[in-house]
A and B are shown apart, each in its own frame.
Chain A
Amino acid sequence: MGCVEIRALSKRFGEVRAVDHVDLATNEGEFLVLLGPSGCGKTTLLRMIAGIEEPTAGELVIDGRVVTHLPPRMRNIAMVFQSYALYPHMTVYKNIAFPLRARGVKKEAVRKKVEWAAGMFKIGRLLDRKPRELSGGERQRVALARAMVREPSVFLLDEPLSNLDALLRTSAREELRQFQRRVGVTTIYVTHDQVEAMGLGDRIVVMNQGKIRQIGTPMEIYQWPADTFVATFVGSPPMNLLDQGDTLLGFRPETFLPADAVEGSEGVVTYPFEVTYLEYLGAERLVYGNVGEKSHARHVVSRLPGSLILPMEAGKTYPFAVASRDLRRFDKKSGLRREGGPS
């Protein structure tokens, strides 16, 4: 139970291809994150899975059943909206009971299920309130409870944490992950926040301009980006890319360190690093500068751990190095990574 298969799914709005020929399959009970910049088509894809957006072409299979043209209520999916979309005229109890009543569940059974769901999200004491009397975090829990109450086979979440303040977001993220592990429902989660994606996802699907650029575990996405888009979209600051003829040489800022701090069994590549600007961020230090010859000068960033005490000032040049195993090569024209994946 709980597998979504997307076959060559497309959605066009006029001339714009919001989702362009996407193929994707979830694993049983998996937490899959759709990550991408705004307008990349991730929300449209999620809405098509939910059935509130009609695909232009392609096929959608949930639990082995083709549901492409079925209305949402016949798909057994639940969705949490970015705005939570709680019904403002109903109490929390009625909000959570709504999906059950829509399927004609008996009153007594509804009460039991609502209490079960409310208990799971610790909102039992809020059942008589209206949504406007709740805080942001409470609303989010009600929305989750409403989605979970009828035990859907797939759980869709559209940026459910984006309306919470930073502190609450971290704890909500942790709770969400633990909760998903506990119930084991296949979950598809849309976000533009790479920290959320890395922290939550079993696998991440990176999208851009309606296309999937890479599918992989957070580790694969970060360490072995499939192309220069993924390399620069994931990671903050993004991966450095050095122009070398028809190749772009990529390395993460934290692997670009003073030459004496770099060890590499397969050798190291050393660059004279002309520092232009420094940022002290407490736990780390960001060093901006240029490497290579003047004509081919490329701007790169180095991320030094705060524990590395090394006097450094703008305007001077220091020997910096990258271990060879941390170097990634991309084709300059296509942007695709050249060599194979992680060994």
Chain B
Amino acid sequence: MRGPSVSNPAADSARGGILDREGALAKLMIAPAILYIVAMIGVPFVLAVLYSLSDATTGDPSIKLVGLRNFAAALADPVFRLSLWNTVFFTLASQCIVVLLSRLLATALLKTFRGKWLVRFLIMLPWTAPISLGTIGWLWMLDSIFSPIDWVLRYVGLLGVPGALLGGGTNLYYLGIPGLAISSIILVDVWRILPLATVIQLAGLSSIPKDLLEAAEVDGASPWRRTLMITIPLTLPITSIAFLFGVVFTFTDLVVVYVLTRGGPVHTTQVLSSWTFFKGIEGGDLAQGAAISLFMFPVLAAVAILILRMARRTEVV
């Protein structure tokens, strides 16, 4: 005996409905993500493009198109050009250091030793703290008068006595002298990205089959040759991903510069995002701010494409 609902396959398929139709189900499940991207990224992006072509200010945000005037003005501004250069320089310098340090850390963390979990925990710590909190911590570390680093340097006699290696002054004024301020920003950028990069590198290194390295060893390769011919080529895609992620994070970062130096002294540490903020929000010139921020777009788009390509390459190997 069969119940009517069982004996009617047409009704069944109608009721099985959306869950059985993979095409429709896929669209349904991806829809929230697309909505989110459109609302949170697409709309602001279009708005930014419109603002950059207008003369909008915070006082009068209505959009009256004025062509490429804002871009021309930005390019003519020496502070903008310095910000652009700084953004590229800070990003590349910090990420090169990050790649080297994270590889070293990951190699060390592959080995087993006592207290390994503690080291891992400490390395991950900067990543778990909110970036603004961590940077405020650094603000204190680099304080002009109360810097604990200066205190230690004075204690060991490298600073604050006549003829000391780092000078006779009582403080180094990390955030007040252009060279030191730039180094400080790069240092904090490195500190910020290092945990993520280390974890990515660790994943890359541990994905190399042990057999391969042993085979290379038996094949007569020295440790250097093994690193150059096996480890680096095999981890190159994932190292590049770590590098590119770091580039995106650092390139777009506002907090470190805003908290530590506000772009100073005299704009020497100004970056695109901070200059956008000062011009567009604090200065009220929305149109200029939007134009400045859009200079980040080509770089970020290129990096995104590279990341996607690299991700595919890691799949293939």
Is the C-beta of A205 less than 8 angstroms from some C-beta in chain B? no
User: Per a CB cutoff under 8 Å, which of B212, B234, B317 touches A85?
Assistant: B212
Q: Please, what's the 1-or-0 string for B69-89, where 1 marks a CB less than 8 Å from any CB in chain A?
A: 000000000000000000000
User: Per a CB cutoff under 8 Å, which of A51, A73, A81 touches B221?
Assistant: A73
Bound-state CA distance A82–B6 (Å) is: 54
Contact A88/B234 with A83-B209, A98-B229, A102-B225 known, Cβ cut-off 8 Å: yes
Bound-state CA distance A118–B229 (Å) is: 22
Is the C-beta of A261 less than 8 angstroms from some C-beta in chain B? no
Is the C-beta of A291 less than 8 angstroms from some C-beta in chain B? no
Bound-state CA distance A87–B218 (Å) is: 13
Which residues of chain B have C-beta atoms less than 8 A from A150's C-beta? Answer: 220
Bound-state CA distance A150–B220 (Å) is: 10
- Which parts of B199-257 form the interface with A (CB within 8 Å)? 209, 211-212, 214-222, 225, 229-230, 233-234
Bound-state CA distance A85–B209 (Å) is: 8
Whether A77 pairs with B216 at a CB distance below 8 angstroms is no
Whether A102 pairs with B211 at a CB distance below 8 angstroms is no
User: CB-nearest residue of chain A relative to B237?
Assistant: A89
Whether B214 pairs with A85 at a CB distance below 8 angstroms is yes
Is the C-beta of A50 less than 8 angstroms from some C-beta in chain B? yes
Residues of A in contact, count (CB < 8 Å): 25
Whether A73 pairs with B212 at a CB distance below 8 angstroms is no
Which residues of chain A have C-beta atoms less than 8 A from B317's C-beta? Answer: 88-89
Contact A98/B209 with A73-B222, A89-B234 known, Cβ cut-off 8 Å: no
User: CB-nearest residue of chain B relative to A143?
Assistant: B215
Whether B211 pairs with A99 at a CB distance below 8 angstroms is no
Whether A103 pairs with B220 at a CB distance below 8 angstroms is yes
User: CB-nearest residue of chain A relative to B222?
Assistant: A73
- Which parts of A88-116 form the interface with B (CB within 8 Å)? 88-89, 98-99, 102-103
Which residues of chain B have C-beta atoms less than 8 A from A103's C-beta? Answer: 220
Is the C-beta of A319 less than 8 angstroms from some C-beta in chain B? no
User: Per a CB cutoff under 8 Å, which of B212, B214, B217, B316 touches A87?
Assistant: B212
User: Per a CB cutoff under 8 Å, which of A82, A83, A102 touches B219?
Assistant: A102
Whether B218 pairs with A77 at a CB distance below 8 angstroms is yes
Bound-state CA distance A52–B209 (Å) is: 14
Whether B233 pairs with A72 at a CB distance below 8 angstroms is no
Q: List 8 A-B contacts (CB under 8 A).
A: A50-B218, A78-B218, A87-B230, A89-B317, A102-B216, A132-B316, A150-B220, A156-B218
